[in-house]
C-alpha cells in the first residue's frame, strides 16, 4: 500500500503544476533540469506509531537538489517530465543505451533507469572530464566533439591509440584502455 501511495504522490506535481522540495513549493513550469540536478541521495526515518520499543518507522529515500530535498519517486517523475518538456528524450534514450551496454554491475532495469536520470541531470554527456565523453559523443553527438580539445594518446598496457580530452588527461594520470579495459598510464602520441 505504501508503494502505491508513493507513486500517486509522485505524480501529483503533474496535476497541480507544483513540486515540493524541503517543504517549499516550486512551479514546475519555471523549473529547469539544472534546478533539480542530483547532488546526493538522502534518507529520512519517519515515525509512524507506537511508543518505546514498539515504535514503528518507515523510511523515505530522496534526492538533494539545488532547490532542496525531493522524495526519490517524485524526483524521477519530475526528471522524466522535464526531459520530455525540454525535448531531450532522444538524448536520454542514447544515454540509457550507453548505460545498458556498459552495465558492468549487472544492475536491473529500474536501477539503470534511475542512474541514467541521475547522469542526465548532471549533464554527464557534456562533461569533458567524463572518461567516456569522446566515445559517447563519437557515437551519438559528433558535433559536440568539435567544441572539445582532443589529444591522441597511447596506452602503456597494450600500446593502443586512443583519443581523450585535454581536460581529462591533464587531471588524471591514468585512463581506461579501450582494448583490454585496464586502468593504465599513457603517453601523448609522439612523445
Name which of 86, 40, 28, 37 is nearest 66 in CA terms: 37
Is the separation of the CB atoms in 65 and 50 below 8 Å?
Answer: no
- Cβ distance 71 to 62 under 8 Å? yes
Q: Which pLDDT does position 10 carry in this prediction?
A: 40
Q: Buried (b) or exposed (e) across 94-106, using 16+ Cβ within 10 A?
A: bbbebbeeeeeee
For the record, the C-alpha cell of 74 comes out as 517524485
Residue 70's nearest CA partner among 125, 28, 113, 127 is 28
The whole-angstrom separation of Cα 141 and Cα 93 is: 13
For the chain, give me the number of helices (H) and strands (E)?
Answer: 8, 10
Query: For every one of its 191 residues, what pLDDT tens digit does the chain have, with 9 covering 90 and above?
Result: 334 333 433 444 555 577 777 778 888 888 999 999 999 999 988 888 999 889 998 888 999 999 999 999 999 999 999 999 999 999 999 999 999 999 888 999 999 999 999 999 999 999 999 989 999 999 999 999 999 999 999 999 988 899 999 999 888 888 888 888 888 999 988 77
How far is it, in rounded angstroms, from Cα 136 to Cα 132?
Answer: 6
Q: Give the distance from CA 112 to its chain's centroid.
A: 10
Q: For position 2, what pLDDT does the model report?
A: 38
Cβ-contact 105, 40 below 8 angstroms: no
pTM of the model: 0.81
SS3 145: helix
Amino acid at each position: 500500500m505504501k508503494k502505491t501511495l508513493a507513486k500517486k504522490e509522485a505524480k501529483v506535481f503533474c496535476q497541480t503544476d507544483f513540486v515540493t522540495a524541503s517543504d517549499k513549493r516550486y512551479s514546475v513550469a519555471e523549473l529547469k533540469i539544472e534546478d533539480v540536478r542530483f547532488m546526493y541521495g538522502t534518507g529520512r526515518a519517519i515515525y509512524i506509531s507506537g511508543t518505546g520499543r514498539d515504535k514503528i518507522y518507515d523510511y523515505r529515500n530522496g534526492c538533494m537538489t539545488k532547490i532542496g530535498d525531493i522524495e526519490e519517486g517524485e524526483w524521477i517523475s519530475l526528471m522524466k517530465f522535464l526531459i520530455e518538456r525540454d525535448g531531450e528524450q532522444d538524448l536520454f534514450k542514447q544515454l540509457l543505451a550507453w548505460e545498458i551496454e556498459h552495465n558492468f554491475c549487472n544492475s536491473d532495469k529500474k536501477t539503470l533507469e534511475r542512474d541514467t536520470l541521475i547522469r542526465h541531470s548532471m549533464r554527464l554527456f557534456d562533461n569533458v572530464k567524463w572518461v567516456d565523453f569522446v566515445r559517447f559523443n563519437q557515437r551519438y553527438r559528433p558535433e559536440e566533439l568539435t567544441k572539445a580539445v582532443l589529444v591522441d594518446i597511447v596506452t602503456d598496457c597494450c600500446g593502443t591509440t586512443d583519443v581523450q580530452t585535454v581536460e581529462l588527461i591533464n587531471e588524471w594520470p591514468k585512463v581506461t584502455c579501450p582494448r583490454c579495459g585496464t586502468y593504465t598510464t599513457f603517453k601523448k602520441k609522439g612523445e
